[in-house]
Structure formats: structure tokens, C-alpha cells
């Protein structure tokens, strides 16, 4: 039998926060894989940086470039899955759900505010990446030093900066040390059900 829990306390979130804390000394623990589906039906996967949870929710924040392939994929299918493995504690989280793509053209002022907040939370070096030439295009010639992009740290997000917000509706948790596996699912009201299943 499963058990239900209110949206304010998604039952898997504390598990994830505990895993992040237990693995915090390992730099790679803040990276996970994000899988999408391209328009030709092929899976597409890449490593991204965990940027935290959206305020007061269990929604996961990812920064990306509007010119990247994942944006094309999400236009085709708005669903994605995270695979996050913690090497210190031998735990895996597979977190899936729809993704909200928030670029500079978004009409919602609250979402634009969240995008700006994420921009300023990033290092200047990280922000400079969004001023680089378009991803996936052939390199013709490195630009001369005089054309190296510069950035005023006080200026808001550039057009290429995009915020992804994944809203989990399924979480598959596997602990290889205890040989325990839990499946969490939510309904449209964000009421979560958890069930212990075979690993």
C-alpha cells in the first residue's frame, strides 16, 4: 500500500536534500544528467548543474542557453528526466516531469524575476558563456583577444540565458547500500504517493 503526502512536503525531497548534504564534499555531487527527447524520437542526454529549488517548492532549477539542443527538444516534448547518482552514499534519483522554459520573451513577470535571480546567482565566468558563439556551430577561427566578450556584472540576463524549471511528477529512488527502492508519484493536485518496490 502507498501513502499520500501534501505538496508542501514532497516525501522524496528530504531524501534528496539528505543525499546532497551527505555527498557535499564531492564537487561532482552538484551535477546530474538531464535527458530529453528530440523531434526525431532519439534520446538526448547531457550533464547540467543543480541550481537549487524554486522558492518554496520542489521544482528543480537549471540554467541553460536558448541556443542549445535541449531547448529544441523541449519544444518538441516538454517532458524530461533527471538521473542523479551520489557516489558516496550509493543512491540514485530519477526525477521526471514537465519542464517550463523561461527565456527573456516570457510574458510572466514573476518568471522573468526568477530568471534574473538565477542570472545574478551565477558567477561572472558562468554568465560569460552565454555571450560565446552559438553552440554546435563549427569553429571558424578563435576570435582575437580584442573581441573577447566582456560583461558588466550589474547588467541583467543576456538574451541567450534561459531558465529551466522541472516540476517533478515521478521520482524513482534507489539505495544500493540498503538495497531499497521507492517509487513516488503525484497527481494533478501535487499529492504524492510512495510505494516500496523491488530494486
> What are the tens digits of pLDDT across the range 120-150?
999 999 999 999 888 888 887 776 666 667 7
DSSP class of 172: E
pLDDT digits (tens, 9 = 90+) for 64-78: 999 999 999 999 999
* Mean per-residue pLDDT of the chain: 92
The domains of the chain are located at: 3-135+154-197
Q: Shortest CA distance to 130 belongs to which of 107, 104, 109?
A: 104
Higher pLDDT, 134 or 37: 37
CATH class of 3-135+154-197: mainly beta
The confidence band for 3, taking pLDDT boundaries of 50, 70 and 90, is: very low
Q: How many helices (H) and strands (E) does the chain have?
A: 4, 10
- Is the pLDDT at 156 greater than 70? The verdict is yes
- Is the pLDDT at 155 greater than 80? The verdict is yes
3-state secondary structure of 123: coil
pLDDT (0 to 100) of residue 92: 98
Longest dimension (CA), the chain: 65
> Alpha-carbon distance 96 to 40, whole Å?
20
pLDDT (0 to 100) of residue 56: 84
> Alpha-carbon distance 25 to 33, whole Å?
19
Q: pTM for this one?
A: 0.90
pLDDT (0 to 100) of residue 142: 73
> Alpha-carbon distance 196 to 10, whole Å?
16
Amino acid at each position: 500500500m502507498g501513502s499520500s503526502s501534501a505538496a508542501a512536503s514532497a516525501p522524496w525531497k528530504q531524501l534528496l536534500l539528505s543525499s546532497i548534504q551527505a555527498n557535499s564534499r564531492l564537487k561532482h555531487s552538484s551535477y546530474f544528467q538531464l535527458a530529453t527527447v528530440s523531434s526525431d524520437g532519439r534520446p538526448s542526454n547531457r550533464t547540467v548543474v543543480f541550481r537549487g529549488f524554486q522558492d518554496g517548492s520542489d521544482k528543480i532549477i537549471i540554467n541553460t542557453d536558448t541556443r542549445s539542443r535541449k531547448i529544441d527538444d523541449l519544444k518538441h516534448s516538454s517532458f524530461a528526466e533527471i538521473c542523479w547518482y551520489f557516489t558516496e552514499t550509493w543512491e540514485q534519483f530519477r526525477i521526471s516531469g514537465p519542464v517550463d522554459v523561461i527565456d527573456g520573451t516570457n510574458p510572466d513577470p514573476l518568471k522573468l524575476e526568477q530568471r534574473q535571480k538565477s542570472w545574478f546567482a551565477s558567477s561572472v565566468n558562468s554568465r560569460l558563456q552565454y555571450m560565446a558563439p552559438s553552440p554546435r556551430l563549427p569553429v571558424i577561427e578563435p576570435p582575437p583577444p580584442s573581441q573577447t566578450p566582456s560583461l558588466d556584472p550589474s547588467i541583467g540576463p543576456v538574451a541567450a540565458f534561459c531558465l529551466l524549471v522541472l516540476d517533478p511528477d515521478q521520482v524513482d529512488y534507489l539505495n544500493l547500500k540498503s538495497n531499497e527502492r521507492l517509487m513516488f508519484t503525484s497527481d494533478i493536485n501535487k499529492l504524492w504517493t510512495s510505494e516500496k518496490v523491488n530494486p
